[in-house]
A and B are shown apart, each in its own frame.
Chain A
Amino acid sequence: MMSSLAKEGLWRNNPALVQLLGLCPLLAVSNSFSTSLGLGLTTLMVLTLSNFLISLLRGLLDDETRLPVQILVIASFVTLADMLLQYWFFELHQRIGLFVALIVTNCTLLGRAEAFASRNPISAATWDGLMMGTGFMAVLLLMGTIREVIGQGTLFANLHLLTGLPDVTLRFTDTGFLLIVLPPGAFLTLGCIIALKNLVDAKSH
């Protein structure tokens, strides 16, 4: 059960490559490694915890009221996370606060809440959130790396603002291929990654 859920989230039913959920933040924020890491980590956290909460409340809900309550839980949870982050970790919020607000636009949250967490026990739902979140983050990081290297000629730029560690920016060229950083580049990159995944799947069959 656990390993099949992991396979689902990371590869076979990857939210970004197969379910094509959460494209709005995925395409908008994957233009560099550091922004991808920021969105990836915050999404992973919120997805895991929202799956946990939805599963916890699943006995209380019926078919007609399930969806609005899921939206309620996710929206409240993100707002709460935003406030607490500003309260305890203001410096960190300065760096990743922008991503927290973006998470509500991620359909993966509602998708997993509806398709999985609302019908499964707490441990499986939490694990599913963790694996789906990791799968989403892996695609984000891959896209961020490709787009930053080709589009800006750098890698890990501004990462130190996110982590608070020393600057480790790698610089390959001074000017990159700008198109890849802009929105069309996001679609092109994601398209290539999906094609590659399908190719690997077709070969292994």
Chain B
Amino acid sequence: MKIIKPVALALIFAILLALTNVGTREVIATNRIQHTQKLLRQMADGGEFIRIAGGYEIRRAGELQGYIRKVVTNDGYNGDIELLVAVDLESSILNVRVTHHRETPGLGDKIDHRISHWVETFNGHTYESNFELAPEGDFDAITGATITSRAVVRATKKGFER
């Protein structure tokens, strides 16, 4: 029975992966939350952020300044892109940050604020802006990363929905 050895190896690897996943997932989740909180502090710009259903409230000295909403899209090039969209009380965008993505390094990863400041093009836009890529829309794509840019532009619009 030639099949026994490969099946046994597959089982061993499956068990190894499952055990590693169980052993690491809580720490990984905590690590991710800490990373997100760092971005939230940047976005709230000195204000506090308070968790509410579907996102966060931004408050300064107790007074409501706006909301941060979490949006996930799978229209990118590779896997989910998770964004945080901060909107003020007049429904104009304060800022946008990508918290998690697996887009191509060197091209699509320019949606990450540490790599390039492209996401700042959203600042100040309102619900009335046309959330499509130029020429028909109001946003320029990242060179070489049209699919990624379109996914982020469309997802950002979802940040207005309550």
B105 at the A interface (CB under 8 A) = yes
Given contacts A31-B107, A65-B6, contact A94 B35 (CB under 8 A): yes
Contact of B144 among A57, A60, A98, A183 (CB under 8 A): A183
- Give the complex CA separation of A203 and B117 in angstroms: 48
Q: How far is the CA of A80 from the CA of B19 in the complex (A)?
A: 10
Q: B5–A61 contact, CB under 8 A?
A: yes
- A32's closest neighbor in chain B, by CB? B106
B9, B21, B105 — most chain A CB neighbours (10 Å): B105
The answer to whether A31 touches B28 (Cβ under 8 A) is no
Binary per-residue interface labels of chain A (86-117) against chain B in the complex, 1 for a CB within 8 Å, 0 otherwise? 11001000100111011000000000000000
Chain B residues closer than 8 Å to A90, beta-carbon distance: 28, 31-32, 34-35
Number of A-B contacts (CB under 8 A): 80
Partner of B5, one of A60, A73, A94, A183: A60
Decide if A173 is an interface residue (CB 8 Å cutoff).
no
* A87 adjacent to B24 (CB under 8 Å): yes
**Residue among B27, B35, B102, B143 making CB contact with A101, cutoff 8 Å:** B102
A84 and B20 alpha carbons, distance in the complex (Å): 8
| Interface: A182 (CB within 8 A) | yes
Residue pairs across A and B with Cβ atoms less than 8 A apart, 13 shown, are A28-B107, A29-B105, A32-B106, A72-B9, A76-B16, A80-B16, A83-B17, A84-B24, A87-B24, A98-B109, A161-B115, A181-B144, A182-B143
Q: Write the residues of chain B forming the contact surface with A, with a CB cutoff of 8 angstroms.
A: 2-3, 5-6, 9-10, 13, 16-17, 20-21, 23-24, 27-28, 31-32, 34-35, 78, 102-107, 109, 114-115, 143-144
